[in-house]
Structure 1
Amino acid sequence: MTDHHPPSPPHTPRSLIFTFYGAYGRALPGPVPIAALIRLLGAVGVDSPSVRSAVSRLKRRGLLVAGRAANGAAGYGLSDAARQLVADGDRRIYHRPTPRPGHGWLLAVFSVPEHERHKRHLLRSRLSRLGFGTAAPGVWIAPAHLYDETRHTLDRLRLGGYVDLFRGRHLGFEPTAESVARWWDLPALAALHQAFLSAHEPVLRGWARRRPEPAEVAYRDYLLALDAWRRVPYADPGLPPALLPDHWPGARSARVFAALHARLRNASERHVTAQLA
């Protein structure tokens, strides 16, 4: 059993703001005016002081940069580093792969000097957030398709000098499915999928009966679903189904998000465009 855990519960102000920028803000020609951001985040229950505080934290982390919107109002846009982060996330969130055991594994082997142990903690934290499991102390493992994103992340955080990356196959001695159950906390990952389904499958059923589409409600339901879902493929990095327990809920939760995306995305975007206009 690994010692890493799925992410904390969704829908914090900072998470919702980053989700908003990933979904809408990066496509805009300039920064999002802070007044519009406050209005749009208010629709999902975030008050003005919380928006301003979360924006300040994201700015300090180098994810948002200040600027002026087309009308001269103060606003914020994504930094270049954040755009890379969002682009990497697109592959996880919207194009979830279905790897087979034969696709191989990515190993991250790291060694950090004792006087830089804060970087060791950062490395463990980032690899965990990328969905790596723990094969042994200092040896982390993930499906091979995570190579590009892992490299981008380590480069962005200037941690590449402490890590060696390898691709390979598992050759034993125990069956790979048993090893996977040791490398990842599968019950915790299954619970994460179930939590998403419990919260958002009823929303999808409700939209199946709703005509026409109230754009503001579509925006609210879509942003909340996206904010919850985008954490799931980071905790569960797309492990080969053949190596997972029977009745694994991952495929079902992915279908629910894909259906919500198809149903709500366009109406949601229309609402944001109207609010920004």
Structure 2
Amino acid sequence: MKSSVAIDEFIASRDHGEHEQLAPHHYILTLYGLFARPTGVTIPVASVVQLLADLGAEPSSVRSAISRLKKKGVLVSQQTGSGKGYALAAELEPHMQAGDERIFSSPSMNIRDPWLLVSFSVPESERQNRHKIRTGLARMGFGTVNAGLYIGPARLQAEAVEYIREHQLWPYIELFTCEPSGLSDIQEKISRWWNWDKLANEYQSFLNSYQHEVEGWQTALRQGAGDPLEAFRLYMPMITRWRRLPFLDPGLAPELLPDHWVGNTARKLFGDLHRLLSPLSLQHVQQAIPDWKTRSTD
């Protein structure tokens, strides 16, 4: 199914590492998710090339990435008044909405909330489906109890069901909601189900990269000196690096997190920079897209 290919490509875009060079297709998905999708704007190819050139991407690499995303079904071609353009495929919208909630709303479970268990068994002759299940669940933030049992907050159920349905994996999977019988050793178990050290390192890397930016931008905006281009150049990589982290972090109850959890500090930093940089970045994008106002209200 082409839709499942598109969904796989979209979810796989979260897999870049903390120190990995961001590729054009990462930026393209961020660009469409932030600026095109909320307003229904189709972005002309020339504008995508221009905006990513502002981030240092070569035009040939951008055009190649656009072509690849079109073949995967992530982008769909639409004609605009200024030439050929692209929009995100409609079937990605549920995943975009789930991403919006995680990235910008920071949902977390209550200590009394139920858990979701995903149990699966796949014949060896169909191990490609086993790989799809494990990869998909990991990219949604589920922890690994054992080879055939994954766990996460019950609020992940809708996203998991959508993934299972799109990939026709129901013959291999059972879902259960449950609650622990006691809290005596659940923190120790959780530390085995999720790699807190790795996630803490990624949060700390994000802090190291961006924590020095807040004060300067606060001052610039107070003085009316914020530059839309410079805001865009900081905002796009910041968002692109951040948007994978909420999918590695399951959003557990505060009582279950490690002491002095660095993720809380990193999320506050993200929220501060998002509020400071988003309006200016939008101005820069609007300037790069012909007839923005007309096509954003069609």
Same fold (TM over 0.5): yes
| 1: CA distance, partners of 2:126 / 2:71 | 22
Matches within 5 A, 1:58-69: 58-69=69-80
Sequence identity percentage: 36
Partner of 1:46: 57
Paired AA for residue 180 in structure 2: H
Match of 1:91 among 88, 96, 101: 101
Match of 2:244 among 231, 248, 265: 231
The TM-score normalised by the length of structure 2 is: 0.86
Shift of residue 100, structure 1, vs aligned partner: 2.3
| 2: CA distance, partners of 1:101 / 1:7 | 29
Paired AA for residue 135 in structure 1: V
Paired AA for residue 112 in structure 1: V
The TM-score normalised by the length of structure 1 is: 0.92
Shift of residue 56, structure 1, vs aligned partner: 2.1
Question: Structure 2: which 5+ runs fail to align?
Answer: 1-13, 291-298
Matches within 5 A, 1:128-167: 128-167=138-177
Question: Structure 1: which 5+ runs fail to align?
Answer: 1-5
Matches within 5 A, 1:172-187: 175-187=185-197
Paired AA for residue 145 in structure 2: A
| 2: CA distance, partners of 1:227 / 1:67 | 25
| 2: CA distance, partners of 1:160 / 1:231 | 26
Paired AA for residue 268 in structure 1: S
* Distance change >3 Å, CA 35–CA 165, structure 1 → 2: same
Shift of residue 125, structure 1, vs aligned partner: 0.7
Match of 1:258 among 271, 279, 283: 271
| 1: CA distance, partners of 2:198 / 2:91 | 30
* Distance change >3 Å, CA 116–CA 60, structure 1 → 2: farther
| 1:164 aligned counterpart, secondary structure | strand
* Distance change >3 Å, CA 248–CA 81, structure 1 → 2: same
| 2: CA distance, partners of 1:60 / 1:170 | 45
The root-mean-square deviation of aligned C-alpha atoms, in Å, is 1.8
Q: Work out whether 1:8 is the aligned partner of 2:16.
A: yes
Shift of residue 133, structure 1, vs aligned partner: 0.6
Matches within 5 A, 1:193-204: 193-204=203-214
Matches within 5 A, 1:207-246: 207-210=217-220, 211=223, 212-246=225-259
Paired AA for residue 242 in structure 2: W
Paired AA for residue 229 in structure 2: E
| 2:209 aligned counterpart, secondary structure | helix
Match of 2:34 among 6, 23, 26: 23
* Distance change >3 Å, CA 202–CA 153, structure 1 → 2: farther
Q: Work out whether 1:33 is the aligned partner of 2:44.
A: yes
1:190–1:250 contact (8 Å) kept in structure 2: yes
Shift of residue 171, structure 1, vs aligned partner: 2.1
* Distance change >3 Å, CA 29–CA 187, structure 1 → 2: closer
1:64–1:82 contact (8 Å) kept in structure 2: no
Partner of 1:3: none
Shift of residue 246, structure 1, vs aligned partner: 1.1
Paired AA for residue 60 in structure 2: P
